[in-house]
Structure 1
Amino acid sequence: MKNYTWVLQLLCLLLFCNAKAQTAKTSRIVYQDAAKYFLNPPPAARPGVLWMWMGSNLSKAGIRKDLEALKQEGFNRTTMFSLADVTTPWAGSIANSPTPGLISWTEPWWKMVRYAAQESKRLGMDFGMYNGPGYESSGGPWITPELSMQEVCWSKTPATGNSRISVKLSRPTVKLRGHTPWPIHNPITGVAEIPDVASRQTYYKDIAVLAMPEKGTVLTSQVIDLTKNMQPDGSLNWDAPAGNWIIYRFGHTTSGTLIQPAQWKATGLECDKMSQQAVDFHLNHVLGEIKKHLGDLIGTGFTHLHFDSYEAGTPTWTPQMPREFLKRRGYSVTPYLATFAGRVVCDDKSDTLKFIRDFDATVKDLYRDIYFNTISKKVKAAHLTFLCEPYGGPWRQNEIMPMVGKVMTEFWTHGGKYSPYELDETVAALRGAGQNIVEAEAFTGDPRDSKWDETPAWIKPMGDAAFCAGVNRLILHRFVQQPWDDKYQPGATMGQWGTHFDRTQTWWKPGKAMVDYWQRCQALLQWGKIAKTDKDDLLFAGTQAGSALKYIHRTDGKADVYFVANTAHQPITVTCNFKIAGMQPELWDPVIKTMRDLPRFESNLNRTTITIDFDDAQSFFIVFRKKAGTSLTVNENFPSKSIVQSINGPWSVGFDAKWGGPARPVVFTALEDWTKRTEAGIKYFSGTAVYTKNFNINESDVNGKAITYYLDLGEVKHLARVKINNNDLGVVWTAPWGISIPAGILKAQNNQLIIEVTNVWANRLIGDEQEPADCEWTPGEWGGAFLKQFPDWFLKGSPRPSKGRYCFTTWNYFTKNSPLISSGLIGPVSLKKNK
């Protein structure tokens, strides 16, 4: 064996060298991971949607089409909510339903859920749902008054002392109307109101009977517990000391808080989230139904259970409160019950304010230890992921966050501006818990912001602002299940709520360019980890930037990636000072998927200074991953372009006659806004129009030259797909409104240019309002109107009576006088190249 020692040594050396080489190779792969993520985003970088199933308006064909459209567009997760027919903003109903038997959480509805799970499995998509009907909060028709959220109630009886008192204490009563935070369209009364809850008069449990001086501050030593003196019928005998007394009979009943906004027949009480019995019952029912109907699909076709942001209010009681309060706070709750009746109670160690703080702390403890802890354990045991928007409720966010499998935060589109809701606090808590993925319910809107007039360019800076705040996965609010034939568009809505991300949206297909942008951004914003930065990690010089520029910094220890976004709808040029030196800055453009070095920059001992030109709502990744060279350059970071020629003259423009457009292409002698045309079929057109023209290039002998040209589209309303000589160059959906033309595509003569321009639904809907009505509408609470009932012509599939109408939807934002939205290719269109 000794003769082979050298062989073993050689083998060991070779293995060592190979291992070292593999380590170096792995290191290089890690070093390049940012580029890999950017160029080929992983599945985790794909966005998701909140999938709204509106009342009984469901179909298997629609479910399949929805999921296939989402998959093709680049989404990979749906979270389903079963809501009322419309949200008005409250729960509303549409009469004369074509499918009235589809009631949430009943057997016919579960067949639809199973089909969605099967289709999700086929498509390789995540599918989950909310933990009950509606989106607020945890409950349903299966929750009895005993298991519902509770409130303290009381009656009071005056008594004069120094005598034996025999009295029958009246049972406390409360108003029939419960504590539901928002009205519901009540089909019984026909109005939107907070409904009466009969069990608030039929269900009641005693807590204690207390006597105390009639007026003034009460010492705990003056509180006399008479609970054992009272008979079941309320009769009380008591030898009262001298003085004037008040006898309080304290009890509890259901708070009458209803889930929202569910179908009327699916509406029920919220469960008591501080009661182990109630939470167990609710989750056992929910998970039992899921297992019964979807058991073989759990983990493949069905993956998660969701709990939305909390709006159910803070309860004032739970049956085990006396025991829990004593265990957690060290003193009895009983003498302080009078604080609920507005009395001031104190002793030498505590007072009313301390009790209120301690009671609030106990509520928070119970939400943590019972509600969240039970959800976490039971959902995990069911092999599902616990999704939650863990804010807005009576708990300490940092305590419950580690129990949540995937955390979502939230931002709105108020006034066209990024409007976060408890987002910063949630992101901070997530980072504190060491979690990397921050999901967000994204672009939630109301009728002031979302009236079938939203565009990707309008949406973009709000999403960018959320990225800079720490969000790295968008879950869109909302995507509505479209159950009907495709001729009924825009189709079903979530009533007045949400940005219209639907497969029936005019720009759904070209909007994939925006989804691709999100994927690239989210891939890099999930890569590495958030950098532990100080406030001067990146400085913006000059006042022009203002508050418009936002950024976030990630690193893997070897490379640094900054996402820098102009969130204003105006171009700005800003000098950026990065707290990095000796590294070559690169600019990665996530809109057009390009990566290039920035040649002009200054680097000193601890700073790199770069001047960056941002167009309207433009964003870039500035990446430092390789050592900077020593050679100087005079090249510009953003070279200006010169016009080679303007593309003027007539255009042939074809509109879709199915949506009211002219039957034949129309010649535009010059580019102009569709709404300025006299033809009603163009003025009110919504959808995609195809612009076509041929042009020559004035430059001599362009054929074969390695020149990259740039097609500047000027003003576009609202997206444009560009094709030249049968080459699809992609979709232009945001500034800068142009697209590069790769070398070799253009010819000297007879270049065919096709530009497919898509606008929004608003104009066609306004055009329809010029025609006689053939649907009935009910006014919404905050403007607009919802469909009162499905018309007979719709149910029969007959031609509609109003021949000039083309659209069908469940919510109407417009009148005949509503202003039209500028639409079309406005231009000017020109061919450019770098100077």
Structure 2
Amino acid sequence: MFARGVDAARFSADTSVMSIRSFLIFVVTALAVGTSHADAQRTATPRAATARVDTAARLPLDRSFRTPPDDAKPRVWWHWMNGNVTREGITADLEWMKRVGIGGMQMFDGSLGTPQFVENRLVWMTPAWKAAFRHAAAEANRLGLEMTMAASGGWSETGGPWVKPTQAMKKVVWSDTTLEGPRRFTGTLPRPPSNNGPFQGMRNSPGLDFPTEKDLPGAKPIAEAPEAAPDPTFYADTKVLAYRLPDSNVTMRDANPRVTTASGEVNAALLMDGDFGETLSLAIPDGAQETWVQFEFPTPFHAEAFTFAGAPALQFVGAPPIPQGRLEWSDDGKEWATLVTLPGDEATSAMFPARTYNFEPATARFYRVVMKPHPPNPFGAAMGVPQAKAITISELELSSAPRVNRWQEKALYGILNEYGPALATLETDPAIPVSGVVDLTARLRPNGTLDWTVPAGRWAVLRLGYSLEGTKNHPASPEATGYEVDKLNRLHVSSYIDRYTSQIKSALGPLYGKSFRYLLLDSYEAGMENWTDDMIAQFKTRRGYDPTRYLPVLTGRVVGTAAESDKFLWDYRRTIADLFADNHYGTIADALRKQGLGLYAEAMGADFPTHGEGLQDKGRVGIPMAEFWTPGPGQDDGPNHIADMREAASAGHIYGKPIVAAESFTTMPPPMVPAFSQSPYYLKRLADRALVNGINRFVIHTSVHQPFVDDEHKPGMTLGFFGQHFTRNTTWAEQAVGWTTYLARASHLLQQGRFVADLAYFYGEGAPNAVPYWKKVDPVPPAGYDYDWVNAEVILGRMKYEGGALQLPGGMRYRALVLPADVTQLTLPMVRKLRDLVYAGATLIAPPPVGTPSLSDGAAGDDSVQAIASIVWGDIDGKNVTSHEFGLGKVYWGRPVADVLAAADVAPDVSFRGASDAKLAWIHRRTPDADIWFVANQQERPEQVTASFRLAAKIAELWDASTGATTPATYTSANGRTEVPIALDPYGSIFVVFRRGTTATERTIPPETRATLATLPGPWTVTFQPGRGAPTEPVRFDALTSWSKSSDAGVRYFSGTATYAFEIDAPAEAFRPGNRIELDLGGVKEIAEVRVNGEAIGGVLWKPPYRADITDALVRGTNRVEVLVTNLWPNRMIGDLQPGVTQTYTFTDFRPFTKDSPLLESGLLGPMKLDVVQRAEP
């Protein structure tokens, strides 16, 4: 039992000491803090769809492992590109998927400017398109494939041409009017900006035009699109609020500074006019290290905050809209000191173009904004976006009044990775008193005029409303493109999904809910949204107070105190995140469930793309998804994708969802892997890493629909730069079954039972929130122990302490709850819950909380949190005092997590002895009948290790997902652990399975012996696949060497399958009892198959060692051996680009290579040999 041991009888009997004291502590603590009105909202347990899992329970596990069920098979994304769709292509695609072990396809209707190649382009949702779609569903039904479709045109997110402006995504906008009193005012308040864009009057960026090849063979002329009508706009009023301005308030524009720049004269008025829609461009000379804008005031100017506003950038590929740099101040314009550092891009994918910093009040005549050139964007360069040579600025403002620090991101116009104490607003005077905010909404007439008797003094009047973000779904065909629906509004989302599914139903008829079973939400790329029609009512319901008097904080003003304003914004962000989870993901999942469908969703996606809370969002959907990408040779995928996988898996575990999927092997041009260059072996390390991070269903990116069924259109249609290009036209398409079966076997085992973890890491209550990838977690999870991330919703509504562990309804058990070092603010409901868990016996590793982040906890919230902390945490300071007992449990802080676990006799779940620099990854699942560990070698070298597992009295077995073989293992058991020696190939992996009980403490399986009988010197007769430019007659190879080194251009540039034929005399050893003869091919690029005397041997060899047991096919005397070797497409594609080429052999809809692109090693590289192998029977 992980909790401190307690003598139950003594605890009950010793009422004079133990029970009464503990009981009084508990009661006094509860009475000291009372009950918050927001508790019920925070503890609500969501409803979410669950996936059907065919665990093949009717079969023994080893049999279902060898032949995995459909639920374990990988799916593929199936993009229909800009109407290039044919009925015969659909059938060919799906039959190939079924043939090679793919379990289903997830269909997108998209466009990256794809040219038209088919005779008749199928336009989205026209009768012809619906007929093709229905044919796809019928074929999926015939073949037993699961069919899914994206929830909009393109891949992000939920939008279409039927979304009305009133239903689209919204943002807060406002106008300012200054009035002098006392007098009666009956004038017009300026209407806030009503244009589409991310902030005030800013316009959206024009969007990325994907590079389109205009001269591709077979492309139809692209008709010029008619000039589009302007997008409709929308505006509605929310509130009119007034507050008195301090006498000291002076605007920068009123102070009339002289403006100069390093680049000469500019229109200085643009920088101070409050219009974020008009910009100026500040050129940076080539080679310059920085540029600047200087403000010289006639008299010293008092400043407390600084705002830099640029212009929206192209998502992912553009330059950051705010450069690196600094704000400086000076008394004489010669000696400068830094007031504020501009950090530039801050690692989120939602780069926002306006940012405000507050600072200790400063007074000076000179202020200077110094900016550095934008760094190059490699993704932008790959997409043809030139590097920015200038800095775009819409506003530069020094404010003499207090402003909330980083208020644009805190109010969710933009986003930050975290909103911790480092971003707290400084306490300065004068702030706006809460009671001083006057609600004039009832005095605003429909025509925008205000009738108000202004009291004495200067007053600011805010006319607050909302307009559209203007975001559209992308990258969709024009006919499928429209506004993204308001994600925060249940009624609008319901209307959207009802309309969308009704179109699908009309196309599919009875196949809807049969072969067609899911919708898919891809990673969120629709940007930010911070308002909806019923926002105030939703806020009142969810936070328990009226936000009206705090609404000026959404414009940067400080209301009440700086701490109050920050707490209001915490509540505001939390409300938006809850609405996003409930009304977007939750509403869609519920609507589909009622229709008999499920929902896959990358909710909200990697890279912190929007205002959600990752675990909560993923918890709302039936099948939570992550994504991971394919890096270039020698590189690792980013920590953002590791965190996303861990988040998806954690959501699956804590919300009780058995399937956790991932968009898999996505890629784009260098620095990632080049197009068409991924082999199964190249991808295996990435797949294994996904498996150990909790993924148990692969969704391969991507298998673009191939409309043509001839040999002249290969490799065929693509998603442009993006994706693996895994289609029936891939060179190794028919050999893919070895790879897909590996993925299916591994996924099947990791769908069994439940995940085993000792630790639950809590990432805090705030929003937006995601499993952190931008920093190291403190304290670090120790080696040998696995963990989940948990959120407030699960702790408050689902977690209990029972039976020596923290438990969740789905069966998850944890031995300790860990709060990272930066989680130091907790709401009252959370600190009460932690108190109760510890009192019941839980172990908590956490810093003492210092207060509440929320105004919902009332004026005394900080004091109440500290009162509980003083009892539960006692005198813990993390240095001199690192533990404290409370009730039956214990709190720790300042000790390594491993030491805490060891003190509780919780040994590592697994440990390894072997090379000190080995890189092994693992995961553990447990069923009622078995413990299953998966161990993966993450280096391209063999490893010999001894693994020690926290388990005894069971027999160890080794299960190989690449072959389906299950073999007994050598093991020794002692002291509650079992040690198993494991040999791993380069990037190799193995399952260690314990199913059967035993009283034996050891078993030894003699190792196999291997000896070389002969090295095969050749020659080899090589016959190349016809139609790829290679010689039509067999070619003699006297040595095994790469095709790319051949002097024959037809061989050098060949892509496809070539057959090496040769003869061997069967050695006498082949016929001795107990001997097995293996043909070892040596190096292979990329995939091999072996035939002996016409008989296929050993299946598809797609990873080293490339060996085939040929014993049973050998005959005495001469044997004919054929080795079929398949390489990848790039060499032939590069060959078609060589000067003077008149006949080409490849077709694609984009050109990823040039004539000078490097060729890939290809073919059979050897050395080839025959081995004799002896394996002892166990």
Shorter-chain TM band: 0.7 to 0.9
Residue 514 of structure 1 is aligned with which of 721, 739, 746? 739
1:101 CA drift (Å): 4.4
Q: Which amino acid is the alignment partner of residue 376 of structure 1?
A: A
Q: Map 1:584-603; keep pairs closer than 5 Å.
A: 584-598=955-969, 600-603=970-973
Q: Map 1:232-243; keep pairs closer than 5 Å.
A: 232-243=446-457
Quickly say closer, same or farther: Cα 1:436–1:301, change in 2 above 3 A.
Answer: closer
1:312 aligns to what SS in structure 2?
A: coil
Residue 176 of structure 2 is aligned with which of 149, 156, 159? 156
Give distance in 2, aligned partners of 1:391 and 1:186. 24
Residue 663 of structure 2 is aligned with which of 441, 454, 460? 441
Q: Which amino acid is the alignment partner of residue 1075 of structure 2?
A: I
1:75 CA drift (Å): 1.1
Give distance in 1, aligned partners of 2:1069 and 2:437. 102
2:703 aligns to what SS in structure 1?
A: strand
Q: Deviation digits for residues 805-824 of structure 1, max 9, x if unmatched? A: 21111122211111110000
1:695 CA drift (Å): 1.4
1:239 CA drift (Å): 2.2
- Contact 1:721/1:732, CA 8 A, preserved across alignment: yes
1:517 aligns to what SS in structure 2?
A: helix
Where does residue 183 of structure 1 map in the other structure?
Answer: 207
- Contact 1:145/1:269, CA 8 A, preserved across alignment: yes
| 1:541 maps to 2:568 | no
- Contact 1:703/1:747, CA 8 A, preserved across alignment: no
Give distance in 2, aligned partners of 1:63 and 1:630. 56
Where does residue 565 of structure 1 map in the other structure?
Answer: 936
Give distance in 2, aligned partners of 1:45 and 1:180. 43
2:499 aligns to what SS in structure 1?
A: helix
1:704 CA drift (Å): 7.5
| 1:140 maps to 2:187 | no
1:512 CA drift (Å): 1.1
Q: Deviation digits for residues 226-252 of structure 1, max 9, x if unmatched? A: 323333222233322222222222211
Where does residue 821 of structure 2 map in the other structure?
Answer: none
1:167 aligns to what SS in structure 2?
A: coil
1:437 CA drift (Å): 2.0
1:113 CA drift (Å): 1.2
2:745 aligns to what SS in structure 1?
A: helix
Where does residue 417 of structure 1 map in the other structure?
Answer: 636
Identity of aligned pairs, percent?
Answer: 35
Where does residue 606 of structure 1 map in the other structure?
Answer: 976
1:634 CA drift (Å): 7.2
| 1:483 maps to 2:707 | yes
Quickly say closer, same or farther: Cα 1:329–1:587, change in 2 above 3 A.
Answer: closer
Residue 330 of structure 1 is aligned with which of 536, 540, 544? 544
Q: Which amino acid is the alignment partner of residue 97 of structure 2?
A: L
1:581 CA drift (Å): 2.9
Where does residue 405 of structure 2 map in the other structure?
Answer: none
1:632 CA drift (Å): 8.4
| 1:674 maps to 2:1043 | yes
Where does residue 21 of structure 1 map in the other structure?
Answer: none
Q: Which amino acid is the alignment partner of residue 475 of structure 2?
A: P
Give distance in 1, aligned partners of 2:116 and 2:602. 35
- Contact 1:771/1:805, CA 8 A, preserved across alignment: no
Where does residue 41 of structure 1 map in the other structure?
Answer: 68
Quickly say closer, same or farther: Cα 1:185–1:108, change in 2 above 3 A.
Answer: farther
Where does residue 780 of structure 1 map in the other structure?
Answer: none
| 1:622 maps to 2:992 | yes
Where does residue 206 of structure 1 map in the other structure?
Answer: 237
TM, length-normalised to structure 1: 0.86
Quickly say closer, same or farther: Cα 1:545–1:607, change in 2 above 3 A.
Answer: farther
- Contact 2:195/2:467, CA 8 A, preserved across alignment: no
Where does residue 149 of structure 2 map in the other structure?
Answer: 129
Where does residue 871 of structure 2 map in the other structure?
Answer: none
Q: Deviation digits for residues 480-503 of structure 1, max 9, x if unmatched? A: 101124321111111111122111
Quickly say closer, same or farther: Cα 1:30–1:156, change in 2 above 3 A.
Answer: closer
Q: Map 1:459-478; keep pairs closer than 5 Å.
A: 459-478=683-702
| 1:117 maps to 2:137 | yes
Where does residue 1131 of structure 2 map in the other structure?
Answer: 763
1:542 CA drift (Å): 3.6
- Contact 1:584/1:625, CA 8 A, preserved across alignment: yes
Quickly say closer, same or farther: Cα 1:354–1:528, change in 2 above 3 A.
Answer: closer
Residue 1024 of structure 2 is aligned with which of 655, 660, 670? 655
Where does residue 592 of structure 2 map in the other structure?
Answer: 379
Unaligned runs of 5+ in 2: 1-55, 215-226, 250-400, 402-430, 759-783, 786-907
Quickly say closer, same or farther: Cα 1:73–1:373, change in 2 above 3 A.
Answer: same
2:472 aligns to what SS in structure 1?
A: coil
Give distance in 2, aligned partners of 1:351 and 1:624. 56
Give distance in 2, aligned partners of 1:383 and 1:557. 30
1:711 aligns to what SS in structure 2?
A: strand
- Contact 1:586/1:596, CA 8 A, preserved across alignment: yes
- Contact 1:708/1:833, CA 8 A, preserved across alignment: yes
Where does residue 566 of structure 2 map in the other structure?
Answer: 353
Q: Which amino acid is the alignment partner of residue 833 of structure 1?
A: V
| 1:51 maps to 2:78 | yes
- Contact 2:956/2:994, CA 8 A, preserved across alignment: yes
- Contact 1:126/1:303, CA 8 A, preserved across alignment: yes
Q: Which amino acid is the alignment partner of residue 463 of structure 2?
A: R
Residue 737 of structure 1 is aligned with which of 1091, 1099, 1106? 1106
Quickly say closer, same or farther: Cα 1:340–1:249, change in 2 above 3 A.
Answer: same
Where does residue 858 of structure 2 map in the other structure?
Answer: none
Q: Deviation digits for residues 313-350 of structure 1, max 9, x if unmatched? A: 331111111222223223333322222322111279x7
1:387 CA drift (Å): 2.0
Where does residue 408 of structure 1 map in the other structure?
Answer: 625
Where does residue 1160 of structure 2 map in the other structure?
Answer: 821
2:85 aligns to what SS in structure 1?
A: coil
Q: Map 1:627-706; keep pairs closer than 5 Å.
A: 627=997, 636-637=1006-1007, 639-697=1008-1066, 699-700=1067-1068, 702=1070
- Contact 2:1028/2:1055, CA 8 A, preserved across alignment: yes
Give distance in 2, aligned partners of 1:186 and 1:249. 40
Give distance in 2, aligned partners of 1:207 and 1:127. 44
1:479 aligns to what SS in structure 2?
A: coil
Quickly say closer, same or farther: Cα 1:231–1:582, change in 2 above 3 A.
Answer: closer
Where does residue 288 of structure 1 map in the other structure?
Answer: 502
2:929 aligns to what SS in structure 1?
A: coil
Give distance in 2, aligned partners of 1:324 and 1:254. 19
- Contact 1:689/1:757, CA 8 A, preserved across alignment: yes
Where does residue 807 of structure 1 map in the other structure?
Answer: 1146
Q: Which amino acid is the alignment partner of residue 296 of structure 1?
A: P
Quickly say closer, same or farther: Cα 1:254–1:632, change in 2 above 3 A.
Answer: closer
Where does residue 20 of structure 1 map in the other structure?
Answer: none
Residue 460 of structure 2 is aligned with which of 230, 246, 269? 246
- Contact 1:31/1:558, CA 8 A, preserved across alignment: no
Residue 429 of structure 1 is aligned with which of 631, 646, 651? 651
- Contact 2:1070/2:1111, CA 8 A, preserved across alignment: no
Q: Which amino acid is the alignment partner of residue 653 of structure 1?
A: V
2:237 aligns to what SS in structure 1?
A: strand
1:353 CA drift (Å): 0.9
- Contact 2:1079/2:1110, CA 8 A, preserved across alignment: yes
Give distance in 2, aligned partners of 1:633 and 1:387. 45
1:363 CA drift (Å): 1.1
Q: Deviation digits for residues 574-600 of structure 1, max 9, x if unmatched? A: 1211223343322222212222222x4
TM, length-normalised to structure 2: 0.62
1:493 aligns to what SS in structure 2?
A: coil
Give distance in 2, aligned partners of 1:126 and 1:107. 23
Deviates more, 1:678-687 or 1:605-614: 605-614
Give distance in 2, aligned partners of 1:674 and 1:706. 38
Quickly say closer, same or farther: Cα 1:610–1:632, change in 2 above 3 A.
Answer: closer
Where does residue 528 of structure 2 map in the other structure?
Answer: 314
Q: Map 1:70-89; keep pairs closer than 5 Å.
A: 70-84=97-111, 86=112
